[in-house]
Structure 1
């Protein structure tokens, strides 16, 4: 607490003044947290002085509060390119990041409990810089960091403003910002120390070395590959919900099953269900294999039933079986291939279709989604075409991102679809008169095809990788599709000296070997 208080004073976060009349006074409290390493050991004890932001009044204590965070596909794209070109990936740590933001509003706060000024015990703190808990604190911090990076020659990306780009002659550097977590990769090893020295002039920042653990994601890397997993997060959550000892499953859902709001009796207290589904949503950052199951669970957050809770526990049983699995990135060709599929009228309640897609850079899975369409499709072709329009927009966005990263593609991105009618609709104008109800999607996809921004090709349903995002499968079929996405156990080259979390939860070696096959 004393260290935190001294840091606040050194940062000139506030100045004491008499309480102003007719001015809102924000309260505060001390918050304590234990920060742990990926293996569960204690790294350090943290204390924060946090303002009670609910005391703030809109238009008086704050105005704009929105703050940008990096998009997950952008993070994966940059990491995949770093692996492709064998660039080092560094992680920066900022001490008391939010305290560096400069406030534009007049905000007054009570003195911290236990550290009141003995000469002016009734004075209040007029805040000059942001503090944790204030509604505008993330926005003020991001603005301060953005201005500092701009002065060093960085420019924000137009497609993702939380990505900062540095291009000078043949030297390139990419910097990712997620609140106070910063990742830097560059083709010039001398640039990182120079950047760190420049940032240390304004912030208490240090280099944590090569990327190993960020946002609850464990990164294992050797000279030519990278494995991203959330084993510790999954293990901690299984212990929290007391399911660490349950029987594991090889697939997250039953083949052909669809959840309905009419199935089962409503849960007396849906709180645990909602917490579980929220945690599973976070796991999908590195686990595309559970995207469809989590999407099904998310549709019943308002009124979950016992059947829905059983389905959620099945996903947890599957994660127990594959706790060390994650995304595997390796060098390959710089080509973009996307797969899209739709499960027509699959929802048993409103008959809307589920759309799934996955986008690869070479063999590396960059982006994916499993989402129910907002309207009812009148035909399978319409459902597939709407899905095609969605993945076309995503591919176009990723292509613009690659252009900003100065990465050129030798050939246009290819979208693989297993519906011949949807492919013909994208290239044959005679279908237009019979497809007025999807006119916007029609013109959008047609324009990209005519401009040769994308190429649409057919593949059989048996090889459609996006099929995993639209429906449940048998365990063998599911493991086949999962392997094609390179969601797997870390290879032996990345396991040296790293304790596997699976040792804490027993998993059948026979099942694991069968899944790898």
Structure 2
């Protein structure tokens, strides 16, 4: 710490000013602000969602209103425009609010209204990241990684100044919000933050050059008349060349829309592909259960139990068999958890052929043709796309 400019004491250079009160950045300020806003919403008849503490719901006989909070950014939607305007007026009495109108930009995400839904992309955010990486004039690439490529902690020299690497990888993690097809590549480069090598830096630039050629791409959400919850799970068994842990991926669809996805290295080593697949199945089951609870709070009822598709037949058969064999005792908790959901018909687990497995794109680097096919199935489309899928 140093003395502030204009208030230096040359006779006491070792002294600094004592801060009596901070105007901004107090440790408890965000919680205090959230509690005050929450109290105001409770007074307006809202209840806090149990599935997401940032979501507030008000359900009456005449209308329904939903509010989503992120620090000082607020999204309001509902079935009655009049009720929304009255709510904004009530909140304006307690807070300094500014109504920005129809949603078009939120937390770095651009929202484009199409004829049959919404298109979410991060074109401006990606452009800023490319400028930061000095790749705004680089040639674009067709895929975020070359097919079959494996990253390791060995094989090349450490890069100079890893801070820039860590900063760009952190920015790429935020881009996966609307670009699920780069989740696997970003997951891989994120595992070498401590000592990034030249080979890892090459993949980071490869991902950025892929994004440069697909600036207009993003998640396409369309309206649908019938709700159905469908999930896919897959594993690339023992794929990490350093510790032989598996990489699991999952996709959850609400109707035709992708609403949740994940690409993650498993925390334990699996001794068989069935064990790795079953751990992935347990993970996607928890995600589907969470989505179910959220839909229940939104008063949206599914016509049938969610379906989970898995390309490992042994895993599918084991999920319906409550008998534990000696070879599965080490995954007993996951086995009981999934079996209970299957037995009470909360979920249905089915087998899908490997070529129909959507989550391949979240577990391994693919060839261009396979990558483009699965990217379309993830509903990552250009903003120029129109029509049904």
- Aligned residue runs from structure 1 range 234-383, under 5 A: 234-332=126-224, 333-383=226-276
Structure 2: unaligned runs, 5 residues or longer: 6-16
Which one of 187, 195, 201 corresponds to residue 79 of structure 2?
187
SS at match of 1:347: coil
Partners of 2:322 and 2:336 within 8 A in 1: no
Separation of aligned partners in 2, 1:342 and 1:199? 48
Q: Does residue 384 of structure 1 match 2:277?
A: yes
Superposition deviation, residue 298 in structure 1: 0.6
Q: Deviations over 1:342-399 (max 9, x none)?
A: 0000000000000100101011110000000000000000000000000000000110
Residue in structure 2 matched with residue 64 of structure 1 by the alignment = none
Partners of 2:172 and 2:186 within 8 A in 1: yes
Separation of aligned partners in 1, 2:50 and 2:106? 24
Which one of 364, 376, 380 corresponds to residue 483 of structure 1?
376
Residue in structure 2 matched with residue 411 of structure 1 by the alignment = 304
SS at match of 2:42: helix
Distance 1:350 1:492, change over 3 A: closer
SS at match of 2:101: strand
TM-score by length of 1: 0.70
Separation of aligned partners in 2, 1:173 and 1:401? 15
Separation of aligned partners in 1, 2:81 and 2:257? 25
Partners of 1:250 and 1:318 within 8 A in 2: yes
Separation of aligned partners in 1, 2:274 and 2:4? 57
Separation of aligned partners in 1, 2:273 and 2:63? 49
Superposition deviation, residue 178 in structure 1: 0.6
Superposition deviation, residue 206 in structure 1: 2.2
Structure 1: unaligned runs, 5 residues or longer: 1-26, 30-54, 57-106, 111-130, 495-516
Superposition deviation, residue 492 in structure 1: 5.6
Separation of aligned partners in 2, 1:286 and 1:492? 16
Separation of aligned partners in 1, 2:258 and 2:115? 20
Separation of aligned partners in 1, 2:122 and 2:157? 33
Q: Does residue 109 of structure 1 match 2:21?
A: yes
Separation of aligned partners in 1, 2:193 and 2:182? 17
Superposition deviation, residue 246 in structure 1: 1.1
Moved more, 306-315 or 431-440: 431-440
Q: Deviations over 1:433-482 (max 9, x none)?
A: 33001000000000000111100011111010011100000111101000
Moved more, 274-283 or 134-143: 134-143
Residue in structure 1 matched with residue 9 of structure 2 by the alignment = none
Distance 1:488 1:223, change over 3 A: closer
- Highest RCO, 1 vs 2 (Cα 8 Å, sep ≥ 6): 2
Separation of aligned partners in 1, 2:21 and 2:122? 39
Superposition deviation, residue 222 in structure 1: 3.3
- Aligned residue runs from structure 1 range 71-110, under 5 A: 108-109=20-21
Distance 1:431 1:175, change over 3 A: same
Pairs aligned (count) = 374
SS at match of 2:93: coil
Distance 1:339 1:493, change over 3 A: closer
Superposition deviation, residue 289 in structure 1: 0.6
SS at match of 2:355: helix
SS at match of 1:296: helix
Separation of aligned partners in 1, 2:264 and 2:385? 35
Which one of 89, 92, 95 corresponds to residue 200 of structure 1?
92
RMSD: 1.9
Separation of aligned partners in 2, 1:406 and 1:109? 46
TM-score by length of 2: 0.93
Partners of 1:196 and 1:206 within 8 A in 2: no
Distance 1:480 1:340, change over 3 A: same
SS at match of 1:370: strand
Which one of 379, 385, 396 corresponds to residue 289 of structure 2?
396
Superposition deviation, residue 28 in structure 1: 10
Residue in structure 1 matched with residue 45 of structure 2 by the alignment = 153
Residue in structure 1 matched with residue 13 of structure 2 by the alignment = none
Distance 1:492 1:482, change over 3 A: closer
Separation of aligned partners in 2, 1:435 and 1:28? 64
- Aligned residue runs from structure 1 range 159-178, under 5 A: 159-178=51-70
